Structure 1
Amino acid sequence: MTGSLVGTEAGHSAYDAEAEKVTPFVDSIRVYPDKAPADIAQRLGLRKGAEVLVRSRRYLSDGQPTETATSYIPWELAKGTPMVETNPGPGGIYARIEEGGHQLGRFTEDVTARMPTPDEVKVLRLAPGSPVIGLVRTAYDVDDQAVEVCDTVMSADLYVLSYELPAS
């Protein structure tokens, strides 16, 4: 798989846009309100312990676990919307965020490489010694308000992160 998770095609999740050549599948999804971890609250510009909607899922390609992704959306943006459902509808949570009046303006991504936690080894079915790529993406609206943080952990041997950046 190759991927920058920024810039998905209209109506597709980031994962679906990246998985065009394989059979993608989500085998587990959990959606629930919770208190934001300190680092997530900071990225979202929320007070420590603020309530967020958590959307956690594991993705597979041709039956092989490839990544986990956990999205955090400020509860004030998510409550009472289809985002609290397992299937938020066409276009996913970004479409629901925009329907709520927050036009997406930009994304930031922080990419790291590291050894996996024991839980990540199990969930991703990693071979001993296999590293993971951590990618934390923050979505901002056009008013520069953070509207979502997605913490993705990818099996490093299955991905190439490819970015094109303007020179100016």
Structure 2
Amino acid sequence: MADEQPTDLRMADRFERIVRNSPGRLGRGHWGGGTAIQDHDTGPRPWAVDIIVGDTSAPVFVAQALGIEPGTAVLTRSRRFAVEGRVVQLSTSYLPTELTRGSRIEHTDTGEGGTYARLAERGLAPTRFTERIVGRDSLPEEASSLGLLVGGAQVLEITRLAYAEDRCVEVNRMVLDSDAYELTYSFTA
């Protein structure tokens, strides 16, 4: 029938965008109180995450932010987030191994409040964040992981730096399905 749309398009039309409200989602009151940042974004909607933790050589952008030499070993926490069964975000955090060794940050389940709460236990609670956002075409492997049409599907790439005072303690590169998110920012004047 001419009026019918393919099933995947009808499902996409019904998916309620995730409102990612910043900077409130990163407030110490959330992770310090044991709340996952993802809970702030999704509310009662069901979500799931696949996590892979391991060491890798620091890429140049990570090394520059962390103040280390490129190629230095860093801990990575790679995550694939799904909301209501739809993969919406890929995320990789890079942390200096000296800050993570022997902590729950090295495990898939970091415990209540996540990585930031574990850093706080080590005296390195994030005190500020910087995020850089770029809209771009998805790379083929990103499109495949996010279930997007290859060739032209748009994503939002967010690179967040977490600082404990003047020291960068985490670099997080996120790739968001641009059709799944609405980014909202509130500032004081």
TM-score interval for Structure 1 and Structure 2 normalised by the shorter chain: over 0.9
| Matched letter for residue 3 of structure 1 | R
Structure 1 residue 80, shift from structure 2 partner: 1.1
Match of 1:111 among 112, 133, 136: 133
Secondary structure of 1:101's counterpart equals coil
State which structure, 1 or 2, has the greater radius of gyration over its C-alpha atoms: 2
Match of 2:181 among 147, 156, 159: 159
1:8-65, Cα deviation, whole Å (9 max, x unpaired):
4232232221011421111x21100111111111111112112111000100000000
Which residue in the other structure is 2:7 paired with?
A: none
TM-score by length of 2: 0.83
Greater CA drift, 123-132 or 108-117? 123-132
Which residue in the other structure is 1:48 paired with?
A: 70
1:7-156 matches, within 5 Å, as: 7-8=26-27, 9=30, 10-26=33-49, 28-128=50-150, 129-142=152-165, 144-156=166-178
RMSD: 1.3
- Relative to total residues, which structure has the larger helix share, 1 or 2? 2
Unpaired stretches in structure 2, ≥5 consecutive residues: 1-17
TM-score by length of 1: 0.93
- CA distance in 1 between counterparts of 2:159 and 2:34 reads 21
CA contact (8 A) 1:72 1:150 kept: yes
Identity of aligned residues (%): 36
- Aligned length in residues: 165
Unpaired stretches in structure 1, ≥5 consecutive residues: none
